[in-house]
Chain A
Amino acid sequence: MDDILLLDAIERYLREEMSPEERAYFENLRNTTPEIDQMVVEHNMFLHQIADYSANIQIKQTLHEVHQNLLERGDLNEGGTLNTKGKVIQFFNKYKRVTTIAASVGGVIALFISGLAMYFSTAVNDPKLEQLGKDLEVVKKNQQYQGNIINEVTSKIPINARLLSGGSGFLVDVKGYIVTNAHILKGTGAIVVNSKGKEFKSSIVLIDHVKDLAILKINDDEYEAIKSIPYTIQKSNSDLGEEIFTLGYPRNEIVYGMGYLSAKSGFNGDSLSYQIQISANPGNSGGPVFNKNGEVIGVLSTKQAQADGVAFAVKSKNIHSIIEDLKKSDTAFQRVKLPNKSSLKGVERKVQINKLEDCVYFVKAYGK
């Protein structure tokens, strides 16, 4: 009989894979042939050896794995580095959730404290804050880029006057009243440029350094009042997490930015402003901060110098109060009226911007 077939038969016999007839035949063969019987016994023993050997490898592996697992969980202690590793992992596993919570609480507290640290000081004078008005150099540089417009600038700016700073502003009354930041208006007067690059002469009619707000009035024959302003100025406070966007002039072109309201108070807990998360650059100052419905909720004013994306906006209700102040200051301003109809709710952002950009102006301040 072929050896291979025989061995195969023996293996099948030992694994009890034979059919009853075959098994009977094979057992008969074992009985009558001592050599085959011997082979069966020997092979059976050998297979057991192999099986035990295999089981031994497996239990060793299990033991090794269990040991490693227990070590990692810190249930075992083996001193030295392994011990530390076990402990660290154990502690990590144990306090994972607590750590996460603590970290977020810590984060919130850190933000809060950074806001609280200098509650009573004027935010504007703090070195940690950067006013977003463009300084002279930047504006000068921009003028050089502007080619044609530079002639217009000189034409609108009174002779002998120097350009001091720039920023953004936005209409609050179709008659040409523009709200901007007080810190932009360093000089004696300002011109405003609309999104199409057209310049208009304007005068500062009210400036409030505490609120860091100012009102300009366009005094230019070329100014054509638009029919209506598509946004309202929100009187109430906005909610945390609210999606916001802004339009402004960090460059000579209008720039859109998006972010969210991150705190209900501003730098050092300044209750006049919000903290917002948005990328703001010099030139964005005085620009409007809109909520997703296209309503003005604030005026972008400063950003935290060391923290990227952290900016502050003067709350829009302050616009209401300075308009009241303005009305009181002179009877000529009695008829100033803030817009009362918001027409951008639920409209696609592109369309909102399209409508809004006509109302956002580039403000350039000059002085002698």
Chain B
Amino acid sequence: MKGDTNEQALLKGLAHNDSKAVEIIYKDNFNMIQTFILNNNGSYDEARDIFQEAMIALYEKSQTDSFVLTCQIKTYLYSVCRRLWLKRLQQMGRFTGSVDGFEETVAVEEDLETHEKRNAEFVIMDRALNSLGEPCKSLLQGYYLKKMDMTALAAEFGYTNADNAKNQKYKCLMRLKKLFFSQYNIGE
């Protein structure tokens, strides 16, 4: 049972973006995935992409309230990577019909669907933020991503007081929301 508690602790660390936990999971699993990708027409870069994608999927899964991992981290990551890699091979037309690898797998299709949807949302957000232009982008990033308070933001961006900064932030936010939801709703 010790292994299980260890894995639980690691997942908890991952959920909190703790680099120590990330490192342990990374170290324990990366080589296996890399070997798998390399053995199946992949490159070092692709191995890294796929593995990190799987890590993010696991991270997102660990964030949900109802999170339970019914298998080992290793099995889960392998399953996700295998799935992602097959998909990528197909997209690139490199798929040869079979993929080598004898590890056991679990069903991850549902998780991957959620993950892909999220990825799409992030792309929309990213695009929306980037089309805002400056200083809107940095102002909103400062407030919503870096969690700076209005006074500090006012100082950094050179607004005479926090209220003016807040006013500007409001305008930017409205634009961002508009941009985001227009894309988001199309996506739906």
Q: Interface on A for B, CB 8 Å cutoff?
A: 3-4, 7-8, 42, 46-47, 49-60, 62-67, 69-70, 75-80, 82
Contact = CB atoms under 8 A, between A and B. Distances in A.
Given A52-B121, A56-B122, A70 B59 contact: no
A209 B181 CA distance: 101
B130 to A, nearest CB: 12
Given A4-B170, A60-B56, A49 B44 contact: no
Given A46-B181, A53-B126, A76-B27, 10 more contacts: A7-B170, A55-B17, A63-B22, A63-B52, A66-B26, A67-B52, A76-B31, A77-B31, A78-B34, A79-B44
A62 B177 contact: no
Contacts of B126: 53
Contact of B44 (A3, A54, A62, A78): A78
A101 B112 CA distance: 53
11 contacts: A53-B121, A55-B17, A56-B118, A57-B145, A58-B17, A62-B22, A63-B52, A67-B26, A79-B44, A80-B44, A82-B44
Interface in B22-58: 22-23, 26-27, 30-31, 34, 44, 48, 52, 55-56
B19 A4 contact: no
A50 B22 contact: no
Contact of B19 (A3, A53, A65, A80): A65
A310 B45 CA distance: 54
A-B pairs, top 4 by smallest CB distance, nearest first, are A78-B44, A54-B145, A53-B125, A50-B144
Contact of A49 (B52, B55, B180): B180
Interface in B67-125: 118, 121-122, 125
Interface residues of B, number: 30
Contact of A66 (B23, B56, B167, B177): B23
A342 to B, nearest CB: 64
B173 interface: yes
Contacts of A58: 17
B12 interface: no
B166 interface: yes
A108 to B, nearest CB: 40
B59 A52 contact: no
Contacts of B59: 59
Nearest to B56: A59
Given A63-B55, A70-B26, A78-B44, A7 B19 contact: no
Contacts of A57: 145
A304 to B, nearest CB: 52
Contacts of A69: 23
B170 A3 contact: yes
Contacts of B118: 52, 56
Given A4-B170, A66-B19, A70-B27, A54 B56 contact: no
Contacts of A42: 177, 181
Nearest to A51: B144
Contacts of B22: 59, 62-63, 66
B14 to A, nearest CB: 8
Contact of B180 (A46, A51, A60, A63): A46
A267 B170 CA distance: 83
A49 B121 contact: yes
B44 A50 contact: no
A51 B143 CA distance: 11
B144 A67 contact: no
B125 A49 contact: yes
A47 B23 CA distance: 29
Contact of B167 (A4, A46, A50, A59): A4
Contacts of B30: 67, 70, 76
B56 A56 contact: yes
A3 B174 CA distance: 10
B144 A54 contact: yes
A47 B55 contact: no
Nearest to A65: B19
Q: Which residue of A4, A51, A69, A82 has the most chain B CB atoms within 10 A of its CB atom?
A: A4
A62 B22 CA distance: 8
A77 B44 CA distance: 9
A75 B121 CA distance: 34
Contacts of A59: 17, 22, 55-56, 59
A46 B166 CA distance: 18
Contacts of A67: 26, 30, 48, 52
Contacts of B125: 49-50, 53
B144 A60 contact: no
Contacts of B145: 50, 53-54, 57
B45 to A, nearest CB: 8
B173 A7 contact: yes
A65 to B, nearest CB: 7
A77 B30 CA distance: 10
A53 B59 CA distance: 13
Nearest to B119: A56
Contacts of B17: 55, 58-59, 62
